[in-house]
């Protein structure tokens, strides 16, 4: 029996990439899936394919996150797992000294989706878990760019570092409520987002390793099955996810 059997799972950024792969894995495992995304056409089509429910969601919007959780409860009676996966790429810096001043609007949008979407999504999910009497699981899609420097993707990297820090810091506070939080840190994943920057990546790293979205979804289930909390999990092609050690301060 799958870990997802009978469970209700909310996935943001569900219309493509990692989110779509996660939705398929949940449905294949006998779970109920709620697909949240700004892409209405693709989201609705996938929801119909998987017998799930789609809800249009801008993860940077508080009311949209609350509505997504409410949709899960109204459709399937409860919420068991929230996978806060929505994300967009971006650097807000130019490539030369003359372009160095930051593009504030781009910066704000990347942070709104990649970080605010997790902060707001965590709050909405935890509120529902508490209404149900406690217990639940939250996954946040971070990245290896959230633990390593990423020249050329500075704002994206900053947002994912923040997600890792948020999850590691919140987890101890919610452990006593039986709510687990973990961050997924895949390497480069074959998604529509990656394809927009892949030529530039290959120019600097010709042998770059690409991880399939389906592998990330399988890794997500593995992380949930460990019942651990507060981890940032490295996900490489063909390998089980492994926790990334927390840096220790040197004195």
Q: In the annotation, is 107 catalytic?
A: no
Specify whether the CB–CB gap between 12 and 36 falls below 8 A: yes
Burial of 13 (0-12, 13-18, 19+ CB in 10 A): buried
Helix extents (H) in the chain:
17-28, 40-50, 62-76, 104-111, 117-131, 154-174, 192-195, 198-204, 213-226
What is the full DSSP assignment across 111-179? HIIIIIHHHHHHHHHHHHHHHTTS-EEEEEE--GGGTS--TT-HHHHHHHHHHHHHHHHHHHHHGGGTE
Q: Taking phi first (over 0 means left), then psi (-120 to 50 degrees means alpha), and beta for anything else, what does residue 30 get?
A: left
C-alpha to C-alpha distance for 23 and 16, rounded to whole angstroms: 10
Residues in the chain: 251
* DSSP SS3 for 85: coil
Spell out the residues 6+ positions from residue 115 whose beta carbon is closer than 8 angstroms to its own: 159, 162, 163, 166
Match 């609705």 to its residue by tokens: 44
Specify whether the CB–CB gap between 115 and 159 falls below 8 A: yes
Q: Which of 139, 156, 158, 211 is catalytic?
A: 156
Residues that are catalytic: 156
């Amino acid at each position: 029996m799958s870990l997802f059997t009978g469970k209700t799972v909310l996935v943001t950024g569900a219309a493509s990439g990692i989110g779509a792969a996660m939705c398929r894995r949940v449905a294949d495992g006998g779970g109920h899936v709620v697909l949240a995304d700004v892409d209405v056409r693709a989201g609705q089509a996938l929801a119909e394919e998987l017998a799930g429910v789609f809800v249009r969601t801008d993860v940077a919007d508080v009311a949209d996150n609350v509505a997504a959780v409410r949709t899960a409860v109204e459709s399937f009676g409860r919420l068991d797992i929230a996978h806060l996966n929505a994300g967009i790429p971006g650097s807000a810096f130019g490539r030369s000294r003359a372009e160095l001043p930051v593009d504030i609007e781009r910066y704000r949008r990347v942070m709104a989706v990649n970080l605010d979407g997790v902060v707001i999504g965590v709050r909405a999910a935890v509120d529902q878990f508490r209404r149900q009497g406690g217990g639940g699981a939250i996954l946040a899609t971070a990245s290896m760019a959230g633990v390593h420097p990423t020249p050329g993707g500075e704002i994206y990297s900053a947002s994912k570092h923040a997600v890792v820090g948020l999850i590691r810091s919140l987890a101890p506070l919610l452990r006593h409520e039986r709510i687990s939080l973990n961050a997924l840190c895949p390497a480069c994943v074959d998604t529509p987002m990656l394809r927009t920057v892949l030529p530039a990546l290959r120019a600097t790293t010709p042998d770059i390793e690409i991880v399939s979205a389906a592998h990330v979804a399988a890794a997500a289930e593995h992380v949930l099955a460990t019942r651990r909390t507060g981890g940032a999990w490295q996900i490489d092609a063909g390998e089980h996810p492994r926790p990334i050690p927390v840096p220790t301060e040197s004195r």
